Amino acid sequence: MTTQELVAQIRAKQSFLCIGLDVDIDKIPKHLLDEEDPIFEFNKAIIDATHHLAVAYKPNTAFYEAYGIKGWKSLEKTINYLNANYPEVFTIADAKRGDIGNTSTMYAKAFFEDLAFDSVTVAPYMGKDSVEPFLAFENKHTILLALTSNLGAFDFQTKDVEGKELYKQVLEVSKAYKNSENLMYVVGATKAEYIAEIRKIIPDSFLLVPGVGAQGGNLQEVCKYGLNDQVGLLINSSRGIIYASDGTDYADAAANKALELQKQMENILK
């Protein structure tokens, strides 16, 4: 998917909502456990109920890998279902990969070619040659971890290194990577006060912003500092939407929570 196609979808739906499909089998409605593939059935119902409100879905691969080959099959079925039924939706493999060049190429092939995701999250710690193999894929996006929402972000990301915070150096250096126009960046919603500084460095890039909802991030604050001419934001909510109910009405409850966020986004975009 091109950036222009993503922006067109945002404008059409008046939404920049990304729904995180972080499925814990211990939290899904109990009646689904009788299904052959409870995780996929859960995802399918959530997607069918919310696809008109969301522009992106983001399965965190850890929640699938934890269940071995069965979990990976559930992930494969989920992305295949999205691509077959809702091809206009932007898909994110939240895998946080990144390794030496030839290994990164294989990670990229796994998510871009085999599973056909539109994007994948990548850790920048190993530098240029661990990121550029992902950027080599046409019309695919690499979402670089820049400033995350967890408490441990302060261990390294905000440390002053030769007069500049490390996350700012990551942003500036990454702009020189080959095919850097295909970069997006993860910036946590709980770090909203940093987004104005981030926009000075990457004014035109899309930011994937987790942490709105269950983690306490504020949508209005994020938009105040982060919106650009192409919107430039994907706001992710996971637990706050997908676990809105643990009963048989879980899909409807998820849709209602997604609608609440979409309506807020629509008002912001007016």
What 3-state DSSP class applies to 56?
strand
Q: Which of 73, 77, 96, 128 is the catalytic position?
A: 96
Say which residues have a Cβ less than 8 Å from residue 80's Cβ, sequence separation at least 6.
116
**Residue 270 designated active-site:** no
Judge contact between 40 and 70, C-beta under 8 A.
no
Judge contact between 231 and 266, C-beta under 8 A.
no
Q: For the beta carbon of residue 2, count every other beta carbon within 10 angstroms.
A: 12
Strands 164-165 and 160-161: antiparallel
CA separation, residue 41 to residues 28, 29, 46, 136, 245 (Å): 10, 11, 9, 34, 15
Which of 262, 248, 270 lies closest to 29 in space, CA to CA?
248
Active-site residue list: 96
